[in-house]
Structure 1
Amino acid sequence: MSVCIQSIFLVFFLLGFSDFSATVNGYRPLNRKLADSGCPMNFGVLQKFIESAPSNSQNLNLSTRCQYVLQGLHLVQAEYLKTNGLFLPPLNSSQACWDSYQTLANGYFPDFSIRSRCGFQTNWISEGCMNITSLTQFESIVPQSSLQDVQNSCNQSLSNNSPCSSCTTSLSRLQSSYLPGPEVGNVTECSAYPFIYAAGVVNQFGPTDDGTAMCMFLLSASSPSSNKSNTGLIVGVVVGCVVGLLALILGFWFLLRKWRKWKRKKKLAKFDTTLVSGLDSMSASTTLVKFTFEDIKVATKNFSRDYIIGKGGYGNVYKGVLLDGTEVALKRFKNCSAAGDASFTHEVEVIASVRHVNLVALRGYCTATTKFEGHQRIIVCDLVHNGSLHDHLFGSMEEKLSWPIRQKIAIGTARGLVYLHYGAQPAIIHRDIKASNILLDESFEPKVADFGLAKFAPEGMTHLSTRVAGTLGYVAPEYALYGQLTEKSDVYSFGVVLLELLSGKKALISSTDGKSWLVTDWAWSLVKKGRALDVIEDGMTEWGPVEVMEKYVLLAVLCSHPQLHARPTMDQIVKIMETDLPVPSIPERPIPLVAHIDDIEKSVSSSGSGHISSSAGYQSFTNTT
């Protein structure tokens, strides 16, 4: 649930409630049935959302219908929590509550059985996460600081993108930190509890408010018919406002000129105030430290060149030593502006919302505006002392990594991505998985870093982007060519990194004739000839079982398959790595789009950014297969 929520016109019932306006006269008898059902929850609050259902809603597939059944149920639970202080109805009312819900459905979609079609068991409506049933139990588990964070983020109108994004980020952080326990069924999962709580208890407008319902539950109450009937009134109001506005502009034109001058002087302060306010509300409930600019300068010896440990399009990464002797890594954004502030806030929100042993942890941040340095935006992370995977594979490290270490790095990286895709709520697509973004600690435990390009991904949604971001050689074909972004875009990048880890070759292989090839095509050519083990780097120490190493090669080739549907998911990848599960058969690769790598590089440079152009092609390796 991120910014893209507001752009989706979702209505509640997937149950196929079409042409609802024709059944409005059935409201009153239906309400009486629901009121007499014996269920303590009021399903009647869903009626205004059903009213806005489009005529084609009955064409939605089964999984989508069932998902919105759950979303509607969660809104009803939020209303129940608001009025009764309970998340779940009593177990002895389970049948009555399902009957109430089904009665609501029967009036508009008689052939759809909620429980049998969606696989819900009767008792699941009264059983949820960690045996939490009441508001008191919930608030006893979650620390007051986190509850206050939710209060700060969610007790406001959620109709706009920014408040909604801030609220859902805090809710996801709360769930991952304090509600990791067992669940019963799939009706009220742990991930739903914070949203029910925020809508029913925290938000002053309540769960049935249009903005709250859309942000928390993806339910829209927009009514096309009412919009049409009010068109004349709206037009009249708009015309009147325009006339009045023109008069005001003419009357205050001189004052506006002076105000603009004043505004320019205050612009820097405005950016700082807006950004810092948002970050301060975030850090109030976490361990995030707000560092002063002087703290940062002392830690980095005034940004000494000797302290630079990494560089990128965003700026430099410095090693730093805090006053207590703690070593940290500091990412300093360059050329900061209003747009830079947004990028900075985004990365802080993303990193602060995730906690996993295989993800880099955020320690704090610094925001400042000085006379000589201008805007300063810096994030402070724990320092990972053993460099990056890129350093060990292609840098100055003399000793080659052994098979046990490579296997550990592969599994740890995969686990980190599993958390981003399935543990974080909403899911996060990294978009820039590469060897230099996988850091290694002293025991070679990998930590995925650099979330600057990450995207929140609401469940079931596929992003289409006109501006493709990533690094040449690691970007999935469907994303580079068409801007289609899913979790499997990260799977492709992981497959490339895994091939680099196994072969010791870079994502782009340079040949003696000056041409370049993708490591994915090179590896596929060997696998197709039955020579999978030839992918393994020469001179690797401590070889593992041959069948396991071959399995990893096949898995890497499958992950980096050019066709999206052929790739496994990250959780499937971890299971294959950690168990005896075999690698699924690798489909034939399609006839490739032939484009020499020089053409791709020209396309990148002509796009005006440091990212791949969406028109770039992918190099084939057909001559050797």
Structure 2
Amino acid sequence: MILPLLMSLLTICIAGAAPFSCPMDLSYVETIPWNTSICRDAIDSQPCCQTLFSIFGIALAQRLKETSFFYLPNQNTSSTCLHDFKLKLEALSIPPKMLLFCFPDPTLFVTNSSFCAGIRTTQDWRQRVGMVTPLDTSCNGDLKDQTRCSNCSNAAIKLISKLKSIDPNANATKCFYFVVLYAAGVANPFGTTDLSTTSCILGLPQPSSGITKGSSNKRAKVMKLVFSLLGAVVGVVIAFVLMVMYRKWDKRKKEKVHHHRQVENEARASVLLLSNTDAKWFDISELQRATDKFSQDNMVGRGGDGVVYKGTLSDGTVVAIKEIFDLETKGDEEFCYEVEIISKIKHRNLLSLRGCCVTSDNLKGKRRFLVHDFMPNGSLCYQLSLGGANRLTWLQRKNIILDVAKGLAYLHYEIKPPIYHRDIKATNILLDSKMNAKLADFSLAKQGYEGQSHLTTRVAGTYGYLAPEYALYGQLTEKSDVYSFGIVILETMSGRKVVDTLNSSEDSITDWVWTLMESGKMKEIFDESIREGPEKMMERFVHVGMLCAHAVVALRPTITEALKMLEGDIDIPKLPDRPVPLTHSSFQYSLLHGMQRSG
């Protein structure tokens, strides 16, 4: 059952790779000496997968030496290289199923700064660990000598410990593979296909013919040492190896995966290692029972990235179960990243994660779920759309705005590194039974470094809530979230929906508020249902909303400053001059052009 699924997954991944070319020369696969019988007559697939990792690692190490990049630039390139690798193995009479089993996910070899201490290139490497490392001094000789090979291996272990001390959240297996690639491609001067490199650093088994008993025993000792180290590396994509690693690294996590052998549990173990989280893992059967097999009657929401069902667990707990869409584009890596982000946050105004579910089957393919507490009062957007006696009161609106501000302040200043939500909007603010607000949906969240601006070519978020500098130039800071928060304040105070406004011939919500303020019609900004409320206090909230949503990033407050203004702890500065209206033709052209560029 497992093998057909893995074959289908990798076939899909590499089938569309034709327009791309592999930047690595894999001709060595057919010429270097290695024990191909391990994969031809494999009873136990583990040794074969270890060997194929070593073989493919030769090309990655050579590319590192030539380009300074540890991994491949994107999934298409990785898929193409794996396709070429498969053809080379077929020429050696190795069944294609072995590659499909050992490499089910091509994103394993795609550059990602979250793998190990933010390292992507050798320049990053040297910035983290220094210009000269133990690998450079211990792995630069002829490693066919057992003593030198042992010294090189010991140096690798020390360097992994150093990387973990630099970044405690770093993935140990990923860091180990970085160490292996650096040792093979940079530190060792004999070349990536030299026997000293392939046998000691990459742990490649050699053919047994022509080797004396004494040298065989000697090599066996070396290989025993190497394989004990490389076990952590090759275990990334093999679930049963992961379970062995969990028994060594984390006994508690072992209990969650050790008793399962089916496809969904193999995938679950892989994702669990990548996400490094304590989230509870639900079986798909639990979620099916909770939602009456995902009945349409239990669907409570649908968005561009997924659908949400209301469910009741076996213990009576009511939950919201979100099924993630667009898995082929996002991949497990982004799913794991989202899980890891949500698992870190513990705050009363942020929607916490109850658990996850990872499953695959031949009928519906790969499916990924997030399980949260159910919010019975829906979203802020829904509440603002209600009329009559159900309209939000002034006190409720005030508390919702303050709740969102407190949640954002926690993300920006109480977590290290800070988290930028990037999709603050009324539909992502959920309300519990007591109308307490909780910020939800962290699928676009991004970790950053405090006080530092980030440039990104992939702008994410919702049109109307995006800060101009982020939409136009990809400049992301904590004040990008502040802008979106300002829009939410204006929506909440006025009852107007920014998206509806932008789809009409009217001004944007910020231009509309500016116009009323300048004409002295401040009261008309407030929703009719709250116009009898405390006028001065409501005016303060509108002023803070305008400051937060100012087009000039330097004029916006931080979220902590905005929170203090809202609570009356500090004075609100005079509103700066009105910026160019967002509906101005030049601005609209630039904004739309920026959105198209980012898309």
TM range (shorter): 0.5 to 0.7
Q: Tell me: CA distance 1:596–1:305, structure 2 relative to 1, closer, same or farther (3 Å).
A: farther
Residue 434 (1) aligns with residue 430 (2): no
Could you tell me how far 1:545 is from its partner in structure 2? 1.9
The one-letter code of the counterpart of 1:368 is: T
Q: Could you tell me how far 1:590 is from its partner in structure 2? A: 3.6
Aligned match of 2:461 in 448, 470, 473? Answer: 470
Alignment CA distance shift 1:217-1:453 (3 Å): closer
Q: Which residue of 2 aligns with 1:402?
A: 393
Q: How does 1:409-428 map to 2 (within 5 A)?
A: 409-428=400-419
Matched, 1:274 2:278: no
Structure-2 change in CA distance of 1:397 and 1:448 (3 Å): farther
Residue in 1 aligned with 2:105?
Answer: none
Q: 1:236/1:558 Cα in 2 relative to 1: closer, same or farther (>3 Å)?
A: same
Partner of 2:530: 540
* Paired amino acid for 1:613: Q
Superposition pairs of residues 41-190 of structure 1, within 5 angstroms: 161-164=114-117
The aligned amino acid for 1:161 is S
Residue 310 of structure 2 aligns to a residue in which SS? Answer: strand
In the alignment, what sits opposite 2:285? 294
Letter of the aligned partner of 1:553 in structure 2? V
2:374 corresponds to which residue?
383
Structure 2 counterpart of 1:399, which letter? Answer: N
Deviation of the 1:506 alpha carbon: 1.1
Query: What is the SS of the residue equivalent to 1:161?
Result: coil
Per the alignment, residue 554 of structure 1 pairs with: 543
Q: Does 1:521 align with 2:511?
A: yes
Quote how far apart the aligned CAs of 1:162 are. 2.2
Structure-2 change in CA distance of 1:509 and 1:524 (3 Å): farther
Measured in 2, the distance between the counterparts of 1:356 and 1:339 equals 27
Contact 1:272/1:369, CA 8 A, preserved across alignment: no
C-alpha distance in structure 1 between counterparts of 2:263 and 2:361, whole Å:
13
Structure 1 portions without partners, runs of 5+ = 1-158, 166-203, 219-229, 253-261, 605-611, 617-625
**Which of 203, 211, 229 is 2:163 aligned to?**
211
Q: Distance in 1 between matches of 2:598 and 2:433?
A: 41
SS of the residue aligned with 2:485? helix
Over aligned residues, Cα RMSD in angstroms?
3.9
What do residues 546-603 of structure 1 show as CA deviations (whole Å, max 9, x unaligned)? 1111111111111100010101111111111112532111211344573389868975
Local SS of the residue matching 2:530 = coil
Alignment of 1:582 onto 2:571: yes
Name the CA shift for 1:390/1:209 in 2 (closer, same or farther; >3 Å): same
| Deviation (angstroms), 1:339 | 3.5
Distance in 2 (CA, whole Å) between partners of 1:233 and 1:372 is 46
Task: Deviation per CA, 1:255-300: give whole Å up to 9, x if none.
Answer: xxxxxxx99xx99987554213345x522xxxx3211000011111
Aligned to 2:307: 316
CA pair 397-369 structure 1, distance change in 2 beyond 3 A: farther
Residues 1:494 and 2:485 are matched in the alignment: yes
What's the CA shift for 1:362? 0.9
CA contact (8 A) 1:416 1:448 kept: yes
1:162/1:407 Cα in 2 relative to 1: closer, same or farther (>3 Å)?
same
Correspondence 1:583-598 to 2 at 5 A:
583-591=572-580, 594-595=584-585
Deviation at 1:532, TM superposition (A): 2.8
C-alpha change, 1:293 and 1:566, in structure 2 (3 Å) is: same
Distance 2:186 2:527 in 1: 73
**Secondary structure at 2:457 match in 1:** coil
User: Are the equivalent residues in 2 in contact too, given 1:520–1:560 (CA < 8 A)?
Assistant: yes
**Residues 441/603 of structure 1: CA separation in 2 closer, same or farther (3 Å cut):** same
SS at match of 2:319: strand
Q: Deviations over 1:276-327 (max 9, x none)?
A: 3345x522xxxx3211000011111111111111111111011001011110
Answering whether residue 521 of structure 2 is matched by residue 531 of structure 1, we say yes
Distance 1:404 1:592, change over 3 A: closer
Equivalent pair of 2:355/2:370 in contact (CA under 8 Å): yes
Q: Which residue of 2 aligns with 1:444?
A: 435
Q: Structure 1 residues 298, 400: closer, same or farther in 2, change over 3 A?
A: same
Please report how far the alpha carbon of residue 235 of structure 1 lies from its aligned counterpart in structure 2 after TM superposition: 9.5
State how far apart, in whole Å, the 2-side matches of 1:269 and 1:603 are.
44
- Say which SS state the counterpart of residue 318 (structure 1) adopts: strand
Residue type at the aligned position of 1:314: D
Shift of 1:459: 2.0
Q: Per-residue displacement from partner, 1:13-54 (whole Å, max 9, x unpaired)?
A: xxxxxxxxxxxxxxxxxxxxxxxxxxxxxxxxxxxxxxxxxx
Worse overlay, 416-425 or 392-401: 392-401
**Structure-2-length-normalised TM-score:** 0.57
Q: Verify the 8 A CA contact 1:389 1:436 in the aligned structure 2.
A: yes
2:348 is aligned with 1:357: yes
Question: Counterparts of 1:233 and 1:602 in 2: how far apart (Å)?
Answer: 45
SS at match of 2:350: coil
| Identity level (%) | 37
Instruction: Call closer, same or farther: CA 1:565–1:335 in 2, change over 3 Å.
Output: closer
Alignment CA distance shift 1:344-1:396 (3 Å) = farther
* In structure 2, distance between residues paired with 1:601 and 1:480: 6
Q: 1:267 to 1:565 in 2, by over 3 A?
A: farther
Tell me if the contact between 1:400 and 1:540 (Cα under 8 Å) persists in the aligned partners. no
Which amino acid in the other structure matches residue 316 of structure 1? Answer: V
Change in 2 beyond 3 A, CA 1:564/1:318: same
* 3-state SS of 2:596 partner: coil
CA distance, structure 1, for counterparts of residue 502 and residue 466 of structure 2: 21
In structure 1, distance between residues paired with 2:116 and 2:571:
45
The equivalent of 1:156 in structure 2 is none
Give the structure-1-normalised TM-score.
0.55
8 A contact 2:565–2:572 mirrored in 1:
yes
SS of the residue corresponding to residue 273 of structure 2 reads helix
Are the equivalent residues in 2 in contact too, given 1:206–1:212 (CA < 8 A)?
Answer: no
Q: How much has 1:239 moved relative to structure 2?
A: 7.5
Counterpart-to-counterpart distance in 2, 1:268 and 1:544: 55
Residue 453 of structure 1 pairs with residue 434 of structure 2? no
Q: Distance in 2 between matches of 1:377 and 1:310?
A: 17
Cα pair distance change 1:396/1:350, threshold 3 Å: farther
How many angstroms does 1:426 deviate by? 1.6
Between the aligned partners of 1:365 and 1:217, the Cα distance in structure 2 is 20
Matched residue type, 1:476: A
1:579 counterpart letter in structure 2? G
2:214 matched to which residue of 1? none
For the 8 Å contact 2:402–2:563, the answer to whether it is kept is yes
- Name the CA shift for 1:439/1:466 in 2 (closer, same or farther; >3 Å): same
| Residue aligning to 2:557 | 568
The residue identity in structure 2 corresponding to 1:282 is T
* Aligned counterparts of 1:456 and 1:490: Cα–Cα separation in 2: 13
Aligned match of 1:613: 596
Find the partner of 1:341 among 332, 335, 339.
332
> Residues 240 and 587 from structure 1, CA distance in 2 versus in 1: closer, same or farther, beyond 3 angstroms?
same
Aligned position for 1:71: none
Any gaps of 5 or more consecutive residues in structure 2? 1-111, 119-155, 171-182, 199-203, 208-236, 239-261
